[in-house]
Structure 1
């Protein structure tokens, strides 16, 4: 997810010397070149299709295998021809625990070569000798081992993945018979070091910006990789996961060290880890469990079959659509089709956008419901009549449930969403900011409309006209003002926590269209459908007054947003009267949740 998975061999160290360029085999003797090419061709899970007609060979396999096979072609390897010269006796597929893969091949009648390929420092530990440019074997002295280690460290610092090649000659008499060969364990000790390659896998463009956005959004990005610590450190620095090159444990830790800790120690260390190198899939699972037990919401990315337990255990499992196995995809909740970390940021942004749009709609809906309920109940109790009849309430309900939902639910995501803190598991859907906004708007609408209901005849100077017509005109004015208040309230609901409610409105044409449709339909209802809705036509002066009263919603909402709100949920404040609820509320206060991306 962090890198392009477009690997190429850029450095090589064979025969005790650096090859410059990495495909320069002029100094290598023929036997050494033959062994290198044979090891590349036989010890691989990839393949090369060599089309006829001189076309470029087609290399398949994992990114690492493709890089090594492509390098083998540059060395002059004829894949099919090389594989036909020897026969495979036993295969040890690459193991993520041991970080190596091997193969035993028979050359001639009695000669057997066991080739190993894997993590450079681990292969080096198994080598007791090395081969020089001429093909002569030399003992692996401490000085020579230190020289190899220095080359591995230099490549790791340069953000290169180090892969070592080694072999061990055997006699056919040491190989079990064919019917017993399935249980044969390839010898892993006393190996002869052939050489080391450094593979470059550049970071994806924009990954630094994506990680910076995640950090601002309260998402802690952790890198869990099979590379050695130096390579992992270099990649993390390049991607922006680490900012200090001199960090030490537990910020950057080796998988073996982490898995040897007790459960309690792992939980304490997990919060501090940013990079884990030389890890196994089980280490990722242990990290997920440790973070989960600390109350975090954990998201995990993975592509291998061995990642399935961690993907399944995490709150959110994200598998890779290109490199991911079917087992990983089945165990995940989301499949990232392009294997790109930037896509994860889009997932978070869209997820937060959906959640925020639901909150906007709830705020708008509650404002309408509270105002309509109070107006009709108070009016019915006090005078026996209601200003809003069933048909009018049906139209208000249509605005609220259908048109309002379409207008507010289609707000596109924006970067402001990535500046918010993550939402905890137990945090209420209706926040204190929403309570403040909807109560201010609802009380304003109730105050205005109840005043019009009880004093409307005198305020609108209708007391000297026909009483029945005056009453209908007053109720029509109340209905019209109430609907227009909802139109203006929709704008306020767009930005519950921002002062500028018009920001980005030009990008949401559907919102503008729905507002326009609502206003046009309201004009048609008042002016032409009076018989159906029990309304009468309003003069342009009353239309202006309705618009003016509804317009006050905007400056009132602006002033209301300047009122600070408490961090503690409103409902928890009322639990102080109930000791049991208060204790539960206090327990929830420490539920500060971080969304953690484990890569």
Structure 2
């Protein structure tokens, strides 16, 4: 069947020859079964076809429209009177329809489950017994298709010989007439493949947990790059045979869980958390809600997800795209790093200012800064670069680091060293500078020079605080344009305060010589050199 996505246009071919599906009884019956035994809604919006509900069911509605069969028309002829909904144990669903005086059951589901409940098969328009040879042949075809990455569904039907109220619930899906298989493929998106690669580099293990056939899951897993030779694949049945302790021992080696039920998903999440992993779990159906709720981070699908699962989740993916999760992780890492830079810079500045004031007091010097000058520093010299650091574009390779330990906060040992060392250096340099200018030119001149020195010192330090591990050259001096602009703005504002009469009165400053201004530049540059030297030392 030709066509792409949910666009209901395409042709049917058999051995390279175009055919009319309505002229092939079994094919026509299979398509009608897929359309009737279906709860999805296929609709078009601005020329784009989309599915409300299960996408696999949406594909079956698309198949029907390609064959000229719409559910609206079909359900006028086959009136639905009952439904046996899908559940994870039976792995199939059935709907009951009335056509004139005849009551029919239409079923679809996992191949092995439908075969178990089928006693007959329709071949060339004739109903025959479904013997073991035919069952084996069907299962072999299923395995072959699944191995190529196809999602395979089986279809069956039967006519009820008794009125529906007289049929026991379990008997509705017994002695079915097997119709055939439908194979569909939903190839991984390119961005999903790239997202899995990013996860591996970032130290994030991606595990596929699916209700699909084991071979289908393995094929898709290989395409995505999350499954390789030597990895384990467990089915729901194999999970049932393992104790929690046995699963605990081998779960690190498992890349794929196939044919699993919601209870299996919940068990997997519990074991992974017990192992010490931070677990994010995706889900869309109502039955996924417990495992999504149990995970450290529950992620639900915004398009196909149920309201129950969305309520249970922490994050709702509006585009149902795995790559969006990875993008969110990257944004989260960036936000955390920027908070760290912001705090590292501000505390380092404040520690330095406090130590400078304390040192001057202990040495019987006048206060190096007045209250208005401290306020000016907090608003411009501290504030503008700090805001720029909070919006830093980030270092290269932020997704090539392992996840930080859950117990690690903002104040790592390196952050503490940078805060204390930067603050101490400010006081060590600032105190003698202030004392020197007090003796040479008086208190107001000395305070103006300290204001200028601190401005330069903190501007250089802002560049040093862009990374906890990389030097300012490695990060890129000009890669944060907002920081460059804020630094230049802070310097210009300080010069205005020093040389404009109105601001001189407001902030108790006096004009200083150009030589003294320039002299402060290499001294202030030591703040950048010292912190970058520490980073290089940590790397050796």
TM-score (norm 2): 0.90
Q: Confirm or deny that 1:103 pairs with 2:95.
A: yes
Matched, 1:168 2:158: yes
| SS state at 1:275 partner | strand
Matched, 1:366 2:358: no
Residues 392 and 533 in structure 1, CA contact (< 8 A), matched pair in contact too = yes
Contact 1:10 1:200 in 2 (8 A): no
**2:458 corresponding residue in structure 1:** 486
Give, in whole Å, the separation in 1 of the partners of 2:107 and 2:491: 75
* Match in the other structure for 1:589: none
What secondary structure sits across from 2:59 in the alignment? helix
Q: For 1:84-129, what per-residue CA distance to the aligned partner results, in whole angstroms no more than 9, with x for missing partners?
A: 33343421122233211012234443x4432210011222233333
Match of 1:212 in 2: 197
CA offsets 1:35-65 (integer angstroms, 9 cap, x no match): 3344233211135789xxxx99998653211
Return the offset for 1:160: 0.7
The aligned residue for residue 499 of structure 2 is 527
Partner Cα separation in structure 1 for residue 198 and residue 52 of structure 2: 35
CA deviation after TM superposition for structure 1 residue 144, in Å? 2.1
| Partner residue in 1 for 2:399 | 418
Unmatched 5+ stretches in structure 2: none
Greater CA drift, 56-65 or 200-209: 56-65
Distance in 2 of aligned mates of 1:68 and 1:22: 22
Corresponding residue number in structure 2 for 1:188: 173
Could you tell me how far apart the structure 2 residues matched to 1:236 and 1:120 are? 21
Counterparts of 1:88-127 in structure 2, within 5 Å, are 88-109=80-101, 111-127=102-118
CA contact (8 A) 1:10 1:199 kept: no
How far does residue 521 in structure 1 lie from its aligned partner after superposition? 0.7
Map of 1:518 onto structure 2: 490
Structure 2 SS opposite 1:318: strand
Instruction: Name the counterpart of 2:208.
Output: 223
* Pairwise CA distance, 1:201: 0.7
Deviation of the 1:197 alpha carbon: 0.9
Structure 1 pair 197/327, CA: closer, same or farther in 2 (3 Å)?
Answer: same
Q: Which residue of 2 aligns with 1:40?
A: 34
- Partner in structure 2 of residue 547 of structure 1: 521
1:330 and 1:415, CA in 2 relative to 1: closer, same or farther beyond 3 A?
A: farther
Over 3 Å counting, the alpha-carbon distance change for 1:147 and 1:241 in structure 2 is same
* Distance in 2 of aligned mates of 1:452 and 1:505: 28
1:391 to 348, 351, 372: 372
Measured in 2, the distance between the counterparts of 1:492 and 1:429 equals: 17
Deviation of residue 69 (structure 1)? Answer: 2.1
Whole-angstrom CA distance in 1 between matches of 2:51 and 2:304: 15
Alpha-carbon shift at residue 163 of structure 1 (Å)? 0.3
Q: Secondary structure at the match of 2:405?
A: coil
RMSD of aligned Cα (Å): 3.1
CA deviation string 1:451-490 (max 9, x = no partner): 22344567xxx2xxxxxx4333233222211221001111
**In the TM superposition, what whole-angstrom CA distance separates every residue of 1:252-305 from its partner, at most 9, and x where no partner exists?**
111232244333333333333211111122222211111112222111111122
Shift of 1:333: 1.3
How many Å separate the matches in 1 of 2:222 and 2:352? 55
Q: Distance in 1 between matches of 2:272 and 2:55?
A: 30
Q: Does 1:128 align with 2:122?
A: no
Residue in structure 1 matching 2:187, options 178, 197, 202: 202
Q: Which runs of 5+ in 1 are unaligned?
A: 13-17, 463-468, 567-599
User: Residues of 1 paired with 2:226 and 2:266: CA distance?
Assistant: 20
Tell me by how many angstroms 1:189 deviates: 3.3
Distance 1:94 1:274, change over 3 A: same
Change (3 A) 1:39 1:189: same
For the 8 Å contact 1:130–1:139, the answer to whether it is kept is yes
Distance 1:333 1:496 in 2: 30
Q: Structure 1 residues 355 and 400 mapped into 2: Cα distance closer, same or farther (>3 Å)?
A: farther
Q: How many residues align?
A: 533
In structure 2, distance between residues paired with 1:560 and 1:33? 73
Q: Distance in 2 between matches of 1:317 and 1:307?
A: 10
How far, CA to CA, are the matches of 2:51 and 2:376 in structure 1? 65
Q: With CA pairs under 8 Å and 6+ residues apart, which has the higher RCO, 1 or 2? A: 1
Deviation at 1:22, TM superposition (A): 10
1:359-390 CA distance string (max 9 Å, x none): 10111122112211111112112205221222
Q: Which moved more, 1:310-319 or 1:77-86?
A: 77-86
* Structure 1 equivalent of residue 129 of structure 2: 138
8 Å contact 1:214–1:345 — kept in the other structure? yes
